[in-house]
Amino acid sequence: MDLLLYTSVIVCFLFMKCCNTATTIDPPEAVYSWPILEFDWRSENQTQEYIADARFIPENNPFTGIKVYKGKTYVNVPRWRLGVPSTLNVVVEKNGKPYLQPYPSWEMQRVGGDCNSFKFIQSMEIDPNTGLMWIIDTGRINIFPAPTGSQDPQNLCPPKLVIYDLNNNVTVLKYEFPTNVVNPTTTFLNDIVLDYVDGEARFAYITDTFDFKIVVYDRKQNISYFIQDLPSMSPESPTAGDITVGNISLSVGVLGINGIAMSPDFKYVYYGPVAGVGLHQVPTSLLRKRESSTATSYPEIRKVGDKFTQSDGMLATQAGRIYFPALSVNALWRWDMEKDRLEQGVSEGEVIMRTQTEVVKNDDTMQWIDTLGIDENGCIWFTAPAVHRWMTGNMDLTGASGDNFYIWKVCVNELGYLQNADVTTKDSSNGGNSPAGGMSLFVLIMHFIKRIIAHV
């Protein structure tokens, strides 16, 4: 095909892809499922050794976090209870069966002694532009103890952020949070988003679900601080965390700020507590300033509306939509923020949440959707670990009742908030971040044209 014609076709496709908000959603696919999680052990002897000394208690292993990069699926098994052999894993298939392979190694999963290894990872973020995985390690385990056995959390190591290069299999950075930023005896570091400034992922925003705050890490200055707005980051009421799924009820009334999403223009962060339905918005201009941590109130933070029901993780796309679980109805929902903004004739800083719609639903296999990730093909991946059944002891782990833990994929044909941010945030005329349309689209198209020419 003539180069000019080929390029023109690609430009037209990209324009329609980026500007048409009426995207098509493909049927969901259950990619992996298990009645009980299975790890990729080195040998049968290792399995029996771990079981014998309680390093592996099979029933204490649910998964939560998920991210996908270059065809590989990474998942977290949080050490909510004792007996979790590996907290960061990659899914591998052997003889047609999926297994969780400790990542990057078994040695990095050691619980005792070595604070260089991972202790408790709830979630992580992968920058698709660099292949860097940003990993948050709470450093504590057994924060949701089993009904029998030790009831005390174990505060093993300082909470830390680790940046790991997936392409070169090497640790790029390890940062331990100071005790005046993250309390090592009370924290629950839960979710993370990245903030691009002038072509680089400079800031990480991390939710602390037990201490009700957003922890900020500034990579350029290698410092951290936190923003705490109790009205928006605390549980909404003593009963706001009462969640009923089917005929099983679970109270999560102690859980504050949890899911977090970044707007595609990197101007706003959205968040909400598990114990509640409110969705709140904070400008990144506030989060980026260290002096914000000393403020006693934050008038810049505002509530944009109430979600359909309580939710967990969240995800924003470049189409101006925020996806979130609807826990009580076993579904994935979304807020069409850009649609509401245009209809209301306001800026993103003024938009009110109105257009909420169901994306996918399954009462049997999408129970308690926990964490969302998105791949480079516009497909959202999410875990459905039926936390309400696991927490309350209502889960049949024998397989007689079918699978319990699911990894789903649904292609919404939208780009994730980080995709090509290394290009689209280099507009210095806008303080380092270009708007969602206009220049951002132009830069993105030119970026793809350069790639095409380079490969012709």
In the chain, what percentage of residues exceed pLDDT 70? 88
The CATH number that applies at residue 181 is: 2.120.10.30
Residue 349's alpha-carbon distances to 66, 303, 401, in angstroms, are 29, 10, 47
pLDDT of residue 4: 52
Which H helix or E strand runs over 14? helix 3-19
Task: Measure the CA–CA gap between 65 and 137, rounded to whole angstroms.
Answer: 12
pLDDT digits (tens, 9 = 90+) for 301-337: 999 999 999 999 999 999 999 999 999 999 999 999 9
* pLDDT over 80 at 241, yes or no: yes
Please tell me the total count of domains within the chain. 1
9, part of any domain: no
What is residue 285's three-state secondary structure? helix
What pLDDT score was predicted for residue 151? Answer: 87
101 in a structural domain: yes
- Count of positions (residues) in the chain: 456
How far apart CA 86 and CA 61 sit, in angstroms, is 9
Interval 110-143: pLDDT, tens: 998 789 999 999 999 999 999 999 999 999 999 9
pLDDT of residue 439: 36
Residue at 208 is within a domain = yes
Q: Does any domain span residue 66?
A: yes
Q: How confident is the model at residue 24 (pLDDT cuts 50, 70, 90)?
A: confident
For residue 124, what pLDDT is reported?
98
Please report the pLDDT score of residue 23 as a whole number. 67
Task: List, in sequence order, every residue forming a beta bridge with 259; answer none if it has no partner.
Answer: none
In this structure, is residue 441 part of a structural domain?
no
Flag whether 443 is in a domain: no
Asked whether residue 65 carries a pLDDT value surpassing 60, the answer given is: yes
Are the CB atoms for 412 and 317 separated by under 8 Å? yes
* pLDDT at site 16: 45
Range of the domain at 56: 23-429
Examine residue 3 and state whether it is found in any structural domain, yes or no: no
Report d(CA 236, CA 239) in Å as an integer.
8
Query: Would residue 122 count as lying in a domain?
Result: yes
- Closest Cα partner for 229 from 178, 312, 286? 286
Has residue 278 got a pLDDT over 70? yes
Tell me, what's the pLDDT at 451? 46
